Amino acid sequence: MEEVFTPYKASLRSKYPVRRYLRGVREFHPNAKYYLLCGFIAAIARSIFQVAFNLFVYELGYRQDFIGYLNGIPSLAMLIFALPTSFAVNRVGYKKPAIIGRILSIIGLLGIPLTDSKVLLVVFRFLDGIGATFIWAVGVPLLMRYSNEDNRVFLFSVNSALQMGSAFLGSIMGGVIPEIAGRIASVSPKGIVPLRATLFISVLFIIVSIIPMTLLKEERKIKTREASYSALVMALPRDKKDMAVFAKVLFPATLTAFGAGAMVPFFQLFFSLRFNMSTASIGVIFALSGIVSGVVTLAAPVLAGKFGKVKLIAATQLASIPFLLTLAHSLNPRAVVVSYYLRHAFMNMCGPVETTFFLEQVREEQRATLHSLRGMLDSLVRGGLAPFASGILQVKGGFPLAFSMTAMCYFVSVLMFYGFFKSAENVSGMH
């Protein structure tokens, strides 16, 4: 595949860090810049939507079991359409699938605040899920194509920073917009009208995000075998040793994903129903949690070098469990908010370290397959099965029962992970 060169190394000669950073950004390929801008705007929309969606559906009269089901619909769509959309991207390029994906998301997201029908809510969520799958299929391949070894890490870091910034802005806006709309309409910020207005505004951001993608210029169609069925099959483990490694990676990771999926999608409702927090307060909590997670993640590589990846991953995930149980059972809002931040920090700080470690356990030609399988299982359980199961438990036993299930999943996952990999630290090529 033809690689796009940018003279990033020249930027490193500047003695001023800010100047080096800005020069490096300027030297990104124009298509990469368009995508970064598109992703930033779209991520703001998603964060706004995330704050308001569950509260809106709850105000329509539905309870956590159906809300959990709705939260799982996009992941089901991704599970079904992930490979077909990857093939489409390989054959027609990035521009058309990215635009089509956002149009489908717009239809889905626009329909949600316009209906109270169970069937239509499911249909619109599914359309949004298909759109999100198209967008997902474009993202990483596009950034890979329009970068090279010199600037690829920097490009992905900038993308990550922009996503963090958009999550902060979107969460704040998702909390403040209902407050403003409620005052204008002289109704509660948690009422149907303010939350509907918030969802409409999120759609506007998605519409605006299409503009940068229309500017993208592709030299030729992209045809690769990276996502072909044959390539996937050929890289699947064939002997008992490889199968065992795949199983050791996928079992604890999937269990952790199930636990997270049973809890994370419901935090808006948790803070609203249990402590009667305002939408603005919920938005601020969500925004600050992203900042906390980003800061602690920066420390993970240093700590991994000092203590080892296996010990660090196991220790941080285990440390999150007491704070998770506090979330489940405490009635003190201050203690709960602090526990929310600490649980979020401990569970997320080693995400990149964990991904790197897992990929180090298999041969290079198997890494893409392992990553894909993990992503598919994650999508199935985190986005599909777990929210649905959690919603049923919440209806029967409230948040404590559902969150306690998450704690059990985390605990068993940590034991499995450490038992499987405690001796792998010295043989996986890590330092």
Indicate the SS3 state at residue 424: coil
Check whether residue 210 and residue 63 sit in a common domain: yes
Q: Answer whether residue 265 is part of any domain.
A: yes
Please state, in angstroms and rounded to a whole number, the distance separating the CA atoms of residues 188 and 146: 47
Check whether residue 199 and residue 268 sit in a common domain: no
Check whether residue 185 and residue 298 sit in a common domain: no
Check whether residue 347 and residue 411 sit in a common domain: yes
Check whether residue 201 and residue 262 sit in a common domain: no
Q: Shortest CA distance to 5 belongs to which of 210, 195, 151, 186?
A: 151
Q: Answer whether residue 199 is part of any domain.
A: yes
pTM as predicted: 0.75
- The type of residue at 144 is M
Q: Check pLDDT > 60 for residue 4.
A: no
Q: Check pLDDT > 50 for residue 8.
A: no
Q: Look up residue 317 and give its two tokens.
A: 């995930």
pLDDT band (50, 70, 90) for residue 128: very high
Domain that holds residue 363: 234-422
The b/e string for 82-113 (b: 16+ C-beta within 10 A; e otherwise) is bbebbebbbeebbbbbbbbbbbbbbbbbbbbb
- The type of residue at 118 is K
Check whether residue 352 and residue 203 sit in a common domain: no
Indicate the SS3 state at residue 89: helix
pLDDT band (50, 70, 90) for residue 152: low
Check whether residue 212 and residue 277 sit in a common domain: no
Q: Answer whether residue 431 is part of any domain.
A: no
Q: Which residue has the tokens 């109704």?
A: 187
Q: Check pLDDT > 80 for residue 38.
A: yes
Q: What residues contact residue 222 under an 8 Å CB cut-off, 6+ apart?
A: 1, 89, 90, 91, 93, 94, 141, 145
The tens digit of pLDDT for each residue in 229-278 reads 555 555 566 778 878 888 888 899 899 989 988 888 888 889 988 999 98
Q: Answer whether residue 428 is part of any domain.
A: no
pLDDT band (50, 70, 90) for residue 160: confident
Question: Considering the chain, what is the average pLDDT of its residues?
Answer: 82
The tens digit of pLDDT for each residue in 290-304 reads 788 777 776 777 787
Please state, in angstroms and rounded to a whole number, the distance separating the CA atoms of residues 282 and 270: 10
Q: Answer whether residue 139 is part of any domain.
A: yes
The residue from 227, 245, 260 where one domain ends is 227
Please state, in angstroms and rounded to a whole number, the distance separating the CA atoms of residues 416 and 143: 35
Please state, in angstroms and rounded to a whole number, the distance separating the CA atoms of residues 165 and 118: 34
pLDDT of residue 15: 54
pLDDT of residue 210: 93
The residue from 176, 211, 227 where one domain ends is 227
Q: Shortest CA distance to 32 belongs to which of 70, 53, 72, 3?
A: 3
Tallying the residues shown for the chain, one arrives at 431
Check whether residue 112 and residue 149 sit in a common domain: yes
Burial of 28 (0-12, 13-18, 19+ CB in 10 A): buried
Domain count along the chain: 2
pLDDT of residue 375: 72
Check whether residue 86 and residue 153 sit in a common domain: yes
Check whether residue 195 and residue 289 sit in a common domain: no
Q: Check pLDDT > 80 for residue 148.
A: no
CB 114 within 8 A of CB 422: no
Q: Answer whether residue 309 is part of any domain.
A: yes
pLDDT band (50, 70, 90) for residue 184: very high
Q: Shortest CA distance to 283 belongs to which of 8, 55, 38?
A: 55
pLDDT band (50, 70, 90) for residue 220: low
Check whether residue 291 and residue 161 sit in a common domain: no
State the CATH number of the domain containing residue 141: 1.20.1250.20
pLDDT of residue 317: 92
The residue from 195, 227, 259 where one domain ends is 227
What are the φ and ψ backbone dihedral angles of 40, each rounded to 5 degrees? -60, -50
Q: Check pLDDT > 70 for residue 131.
A: yes
H runs (alpha helix) in 3-63: 8-11, 17-26, 30-59
The tens digit of pLDDT for each residue in 325-382 reads 999 899 999 999 999 999 988 888 877 678 778 877 877 667 667 766 777 787 778 8
Q: Answer whether residue 429 is part of any domain.
A: no
Please state, in angstroms and rounded to a whole number, the distance separating the CA atoms of residues 277 and 136: 33
Burial of 184 (0-12, 13-18, 19+ CB in 10 A): exposed
Q: Look up residue 160 and give its two tokens.
A: 């990550």
CB 31 within 8 A of CB 217: yes
Check whether residue 247 and residue 210 sit in a common domain: no
DSSP symbol at 114: G
Q: Answer whether residue 427 is part of any domain.
A: no
**Backbone CA torsion sign across 234, 240, 246, 251:** positive
pLDDT of residue 219: 61
